[in-house]
Amino acid sequence: MREAQSIFVQIAEGIKDRILSGEYQADERIPSVRDLAVELEVNPNTAMKAFDLLQREDLIYNKRGMGYFVSPEAKAKVVESRKRQLREVTLPALRHELELLGLSLEDLLRI
């Protein structure tokens, strides 16, 4: 589904994945906008939009002159957000698809 998302949203989701996996820890510095843009081969403005989004969600914070850091509560916030997405979007879509295909939950588990 990420293909339909804006690039900056995909970048933000990738950073959230790194927070969830433990690659980025609470209060740990993350790559700079420029470094991330080079790594992902995107315009720095696009990377900055991802950082702005993550700041608005209180997942990262900026220490003037030092860079961006993972917020202490970031992992818990991402977990809750992903659970809500699963509950409100992913599972209902899966249920609908199963109904259209005439499959039961047991059928799904056998696939």
Q: Which domain holds residue 22?
A: 2-110
CATH of the domain at 16: 1.10.10.10
Name 37's Cβ contacts closer than 8 Å, sequence gap at least 6. 43, 44, 46, 47
User: What residue has token string 């990262």?
Assistant: 60
**Count of domains forming the chain:** 1
Q: What is the pLDDT of residue 4?
A: 83
Q: What is the pLDDT of residue 1?
A: 45
Whether the Cβ atoms of residue 8 and residue 63 lie closer than 8 Å to each other? no
* Rounded CA separation 93/46 (Å): 30
63-98 per-position pLDDT tens digit: 999 999 999 999 999 999 999 999 999 999 999 999
Using the predicted structure, report yes or no on whether residue 3 has a pLDDT greater than 80.
no
pTM score, whole prediction = 0.86
